[in-house]
């Protein structure tokens, strides 16, 4: 472990999340601007937004707990050191992915390090990271919704699950494309009511 990061890093082994994030509606660029103004709450919001994403990438590798903690800490220290440049970063999740993979490669088993270097759009690792980013985006979108809308969305999704099971059992051998079209119409109707 590099000496410039000496001391315990155990507190960084698992991301910390701060409920009631008052900056959840801000863009990444706005958060970074606030971080540059030394707004600690904005930094916590940035950690909240990307911490689990970074940690999820790290856990894809066979790293020891202290190595995972070091990588997590190093990624966010790198973000802190590069805030000035990150203001202009069009896709912050891509930046976090690249930096996290670079640090993971330092500790990964040789075959995993090779997989990182050879990663392209067809690799399993790339697809896993894409899925993690979709999940992070969905979580962020859900967190930014007002409670009544979030509750209505969950009720709609549960209702659609119930309908798809009922329809599938009652319609027997109906064409799957027709079933999807009917389901799409039901979704549109329900969303229009919201």
CA–CA dist 138, 142 (Å, integer) = 6
The stretch 68-72 carries a mean pLDDT of 94
The stretch 176-182 carries a mean pLDDT of 66
CA–CA dist 66, 12 (Å, integer) = 9
State the DSSP code for 172. T
Task: Say if CB 115 and CB 125 are below 8 A apart.
Answer: yes
Coil, helix or strand at residue 125: helix
The stretch 56-76 carries a mean pLDDT of 91
Q: What's residue 65's pLDDT? A: 92
pLDDT in tens, 9-57: 333 334 444 445 677 778 888 999 999 999 999 998 899 888 988 998 8
What Rg, from alpha-carbon coordinates, does the chain have?
Answer: 21
CA distances from 30 to 42, 86, 97, 184, 187 (A): 9, 11, 20, 36, 34
Q: What's residue 57's pLDDT? A: 86
Q: What's residue 23's pLDDT? A: 74
The stretch 58-80 carries a mean pLDDT of 92
Q: Confidence class of residue 84 from pLDDT cuts 50, 70 and 90?
A: very high
Nearest residue to 133 via CA among 81, 98, 86: 98
């Amino acid at each position: 472990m590099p000496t410039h990061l000496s001391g315990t890093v155990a507190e960084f082994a698992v991301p910390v999340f701060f409920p009631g994030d008052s900056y959840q509606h801000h863009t990444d660029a706005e958060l970074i601007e606030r971080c540059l103004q030394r707004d600690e709450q904005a930094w916590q919001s940035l950690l909240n937004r990307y911490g689990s994403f970074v940690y999820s990438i790290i856990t894809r590798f066979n790293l020891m707990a202290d190595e995972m903690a070091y990588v997590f800490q190093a990624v966010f220290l790198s973000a802190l050191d590069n805030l000035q440049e990150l203001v202009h970063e069009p896709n912050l999740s891509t930046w976090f992915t690249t930096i996290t993979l670079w640090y993971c490669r330092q500790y990964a088993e040789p075959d995993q390090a090779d997989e990182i270097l050879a990663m392209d759009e067809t690799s399993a690792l790339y697809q896993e990271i894409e899925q993690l980013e979709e999940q992070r985006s969905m979580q962020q979108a859900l967190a930014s919704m007002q409670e009544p809308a979030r509750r209505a969305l969950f009720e709609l999704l549960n209702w659609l699950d119930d309908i798809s099971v009922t329809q599938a059992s009652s319609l027997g051998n109906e064409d799957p494309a027709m079933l999807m079209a009917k389901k799409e119409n039901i979704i549109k109707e329900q969303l229009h009511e919201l």
